[in-house]
Amino acid sequence: MKKVNVNPVRGTRDILPAAAQLRDFALHKILGAYQACGFRRIETPVLESLDLLLAGQGGENEKLIFKVMKRGEKLDVANAQEESDIAEYGMRFDLTIPLSRFYANNISQLPTPFKSIQAGPVWRAERPQRGRYRQFVQCDIDVIGEPSINAEIDLIRTTARCLNGVGLRDFIIRINNRQLIEALLVECGFAPGDFASIMIALDKQDKIGIEGVQAELNGYPAVAVQRLIDFLNEKIDTPQGMTSVFKGTPPENVIGLIDELNVVMDTVRALSKGDFQILFDPSLIRGMGYYTGQIFEISYKDFPFSIAGGGRYDGVIGRLMGRDVAACGFSIGFERLCEVLEAENLNGGEGETRAIVFVDDNAQSLAAYGFAAQAAQQYAVVNVLRKQKNHRRQLEGLHAEGYAAFYYYTGAAYQKRSVEFEKV
């Protein structure tokens, strides 16, 4: 018999019990914080039509879609001339595009504004690396139907509450505005049709540096490129600093964008209680093509990736409904967050009490499970296990899992026994 490869598919993982426990802890805290701030959970299918997924709103991620072949009579490979002849659905690459379709389909049953929660897996056919998988979980909150910056403030303070809830402090929220970047590109002399590709180059700045960005922009007007590079070298760190780019008085819409950024930053800073920072970052771009306003990301210490990101995407739902609909969202990268929690030893186990009730033979089963039912009033977890021959190794393994209370049958009742592991 041919041996089957039992390794998980490349870019995916098996989740062992200890890791699953950490993930359960994190998800419980995240969902609790979301719901405490008035967001409500929904679910969307993992499959969406390729027409929706390839509508030009997903940026580079549209190149990473796992596509699903047609089945039965619909699949005619021999006569297929285009990809659409053999595939009509794809696995979702994020939760924002499915949410937009969900809202357009169910708007008559939803309040305004609608504050949604989504938590589930997404798929991208990319090269796996640290903190980046082909299957991974996202935790999203979105506010639909609220055009004011109250949506941004609500999303940022709620996401910060989630991170505080799992034990993180001193993280940094970076914020910018896509419209402000577009105004900058106009002032530098770039054509609007080039904005998307220029922003892709700017989004790589943290990886390739300013010189790398300049090389990526080779072929655009030299004067425009130089003005942009000069701006990047200024190291501007306040929204007001953006006005230095403009000749004379900045356009009125630019002043308005700066004022809104200041209100959001001042409000969030006042709510932070010193647990985190919020900083203006003019180099922040975000890779998705659908962002239309303020954008934000969260980083933590020296970890080489962001753990959350989002922004305003007012144009996405409008394309599906034929009218403008305000929308803004913030997503926690769950896999990356769990990697941080593991590295920081924040596993949520503190204060949890876990007990083992040992069984020596079948005759003790009724007593064991009866006692376990009583012990459940005292302990968060009560596990009934058969006592193994190599009891020392069994105890050491259970202690490593977080069990600290051990009960043995004495012939008449169960009694707690103190165990010193170095002497067992």
Q: Could you tell me the CA-to-CA distances from 240 to 150, 200, 249 in Å, in that order? A: 21, 24, 12
Q: For residue 419, what are the β-bridge partners? A: none
On whether the CB atoms of residues 42 and 275 are closer than 8 A, the answer is: no
- Per the prediction, the chain carries an average pLDDT of 89
pTM attached to this predicted model: 0.85
Q: How confident is the model at residue 357 (pLDDT cuts 50, 70, 90)?
A: very high
Query: What pLDDT shows up at residue 80?
Result: 58
Per-residue pLDDT at 83 exceeds 70: no
Q: For residue 171, what are the β-bridge partners? A: 276
Q: How confident is the model at residue 380 (pLDDT cuts 50, 70, 90)?
A: confident
Q: Could you tell me the CA-to-CA distances from 79 to 29, 87, 154 in Å, in that order? A: 52, 13, 52
Query: What pLDDT shows up at residue 104?
Result: 94
Strand, helix or coil for residue 67: strand
Q: How confident is the model at residue 351 (pLDDT cuts 50, 70, 90)?
A: very low
On whether the CB atoms of residues 193 and 263 are closer than 8 A, the answer is: no
Q: What is the mean pLDDT of residues 385-398?
A: 93
Highest mean pLDDT among 208-212, 360-364, 406-410: 406-410
Tell me which residue of 113, 115, 122 sits closest to 37, measured CA to CA.
115
Query: What pLDDT shows up at residue 411?
Result: 85
Of 138 and 79, which is predicted with more confidence?
A: 138
Tell me which residue of 376, 379, 375, 386 sits closest to 404, measured CA to CA.
379
Residues of the chain with pLDDT > 70, as a percent, come to 92
Q: Is 383 exposed, middle or buried, given 0-12, 13-18 or 19+ CB atoms closer than 10 A?
A: middle
**Alpha helices, DSSP H only, in 135-204?**
150-165, 178-188, 195-202
Q: How confident is the model at residue 424 (pLDDT cuts 50, 70, 90)?
A: very low
252 sits in which H/E element = helix 252-271
Enumerate domains of the chain plus CATH numbers.
17-47+94-343 (3.30.930.10), 354-423 (no CATH)
- The string of pLDDT tens digits covering residues 137-177 is 999 999 999 999 999 999 999 999 999 999 999 999 999 99
* CA triple 392-398-403, angle to 5 deg: 125
Alpha-carbon torsion, ordered 123, 126, 131, 134, to 10 deg: 30
Q: In whole angstroms, what is the distance from residue 287 CA to residue 148 CA?
A: 23
- The string of pLDDT tens digits covering residues 3-12 is 899 999 999 9
- The string of pLDDT tens digits covering residues 183-237 is 999 999 999 988 888 988 888 888 898 999 899 898 899 999 999 998 888 888 8
Q: In whole angstroms, what is the distance from residue 230 CA to residue 387 CA?
A: 71
Query: What pLDDT shows up at residue 422?
Result: 54
Query: What pLDDT shows up at residue 2?
Result: 84
Query: What pLDDT shows up at residue 178?
Result: 94
Tell me which residue of 333, 303, 342, 336 sits closest to 16, measured CA to CA.
342
Per-residue pLDDT at 325 exceeds 50: yes
Poorest-confidence range of 43-52, 55-64, 155-164, 277-286?
A: 55-64
